[in-house]
């Protein structure tokens, strides 16, 4: 069923943050920071993959994402929904079902045998493709997926994610310079606000997380392991 009527974006952001906190997909730890894929430290970590195990929450969030896509990009803006390997694949499938569109997925790199393809499923020249992922940090990882889509002759001018870090000012410029617009449901700022409302973490932890969100690069530099 194609969703059509839902809360405004502010309420969607609050509810998304609440759901992520409820299933403990949000992790804050300032004393023993997490190590990100970049090798840099962070007092925050989000695990959107957990969402697939919670039917009521995943269904609501996919409704939110689908209606946000239609509101921001248009009701007839796409011909194909592509998921990024691997976390984006289930979410792309659920969004495609709601929007009654074909679904494909994009490999991080060619599989190395057979057709050596990066695109799995049917994607045709001229199709307008929406790239769906679980989250984005600085936007850089999306560009390889977008390029693979464009190599088929299709276009890709939008990416939709559940969670957007919202703390690195270069993100939207990185995507924009590549001709891609971003749709997201919530950011770290929304999660922090909801965590404060709930008292989900102690005051010291929340204070340190806020310092990181206000100046992430500086915080990472100061907390690098020797």
Residue numbers in the known binding site for 5-phospho-alpha-D-ribose 1-diphosphate are 107-108, 111, 133-141
Q: Which residue numbers belong to the known binding site for orotate?
A: 137
Task: For residue 164, give the nearest of 29, 20, 38 by alpha carbon.
Answer: 20
Question: What are phi and psi for residue 133, nearest 5 degrees?
Answer: -135, 170
How many C-beta atoms surround the C-beta of residue 211 within 10 A?
A: 15
**Alpha-carbon distances, residue 1 vs 62, 73, 132 (angstroms):** 12, 19, 19
Q: What's the burial of 106, exposed, middle or buried (CB within 10 Å: 0-12/13-18/19+)?
A: buried
Q: Which residue has the tokens 């500086």?
A: 218
Q: Which residue numbers belong to the known binding site?
A: 107-108, 111, 133-141
Task: For residue 146, give the nearest of 103, 84, 89, 88 by alpha carbon.
Answer: 84
Tokens of 166: 């919202």
Which residues, other chains included, contact 72 with Cβ-Cβ below 8 Å and sequence gap of 6+?
A: 181, 183
Question: What are phi and psi for residue 82, nearest 5 degrees?
Answer: -115, 130
């Amino acid at each position: 069923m194609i969703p059509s009527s839902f809360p405004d974006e502010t309420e969607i952001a609050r509810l998304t943050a609440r759901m992520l906190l409820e299933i403990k997909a949000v992790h804050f730890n300032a004393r023993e920071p997490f190590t990100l894929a970049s090798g840099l430290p962070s007092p925050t970590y989000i695990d959107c993959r957990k969402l697939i195990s919670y039917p009521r929450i995943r269904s609501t969030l996919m409704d939110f994402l689908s209606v946000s896509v239609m509101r921001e990009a248009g009701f007839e803006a796409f011909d194909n929904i592509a998921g990024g390997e691997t976390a984006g694949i289930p979410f792309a499938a659920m969004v495609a079902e709601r929007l009654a569109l074909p679904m494909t997925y994009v490999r991080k790199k060619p599989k190395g045998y057979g057709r050596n393809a990066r695109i799995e499923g049917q994607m045709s020249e001229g199709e307008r493709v929406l790239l769906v992922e679980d989250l984005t940090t600085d936007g850089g990882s999306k560009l390889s997926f977008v390029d693979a889509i464009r190599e088929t002759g299709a276009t890709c001018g939008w990416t939709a994610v559940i969670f957007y870090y919202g703390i690195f000012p270069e993100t939207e410029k990185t995507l924009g310079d590549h001709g891609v617009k971003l749709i997201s449901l919530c950011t770290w700022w929304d999660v922090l606000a909801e965590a404060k409302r709930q008292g989900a973490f102690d005051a010291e932890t929340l204070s340190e997380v806020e310092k990181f969100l206000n100046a992430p690069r500086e915080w990472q530099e100061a907390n690098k392991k020797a």
